[in-house]
Amino acid sequence: MNTSLTSDLATTSSPTSNERLAAAIAHGGTCVAWFFAPLVVYMIEKDRSSYASRQALQALLWSGFGTLVSLATCGLAIPIFMGFHILAAVRTLEGQDYEYPLIGDLVRKLQSS
């Protein structure tokens, strides 16, 4: 196993209950407030928690991407994108790190620069 990967895994801590809750609100809140929930969570958590802010930024970008695809498909894609939001909310509430397809890599690049 790569030693740098091993050291990264050893120093990675699990998110706190507040971080998990903030991430779940960012993801699940999109069912009620499409862009607003992840935007608010991101603005509050961006300087406090890298976990919660990364999850909120992903939810925000996934909502934007979902909006564009849903407009192109006359709304047919909405249930699919909402399903991903719900799955992400459940996973992050359990403390797992969730990445949306396509969006996860973009967010990682944005936050590393």
Cβ atoms of residues 41 and 51 within 8 Å: no
Query: How many structural domains are present in the chain?
Result: 1
- Residue 3 covered by a domain: no
- Residue 74 covered by a domain: yes
Taking only the tens place, the pLDDT of each residue in 10-19 is 346 899 999 9
Taking only the tens place, the pLDDT of each residue in 66-80 is 999 999 999 999 999
- Residue 61 covered by a domain: yes
* Cβ-Cβ contacts under 8 Å for 92 (sequence gap 6 or more): 15, 20, 23, 24, 27, 55, 98
- Residue 95 covered by a domain: yes
- Residue 54 covered by a domain: yes
pTM of the predicted model as reported, rounded to 2 decimal places: 0.85
- Residue 89 covered by a domain: yes
Taking only the tens place, the pLDDT of each residue in 35-65 is 999 999 999 999 999 999 999 999 999 999 9
- Residue 8 covered by a domain: no
- Residue 37 covered by a domain: yes
- Structural domain including 59 reads 17-112
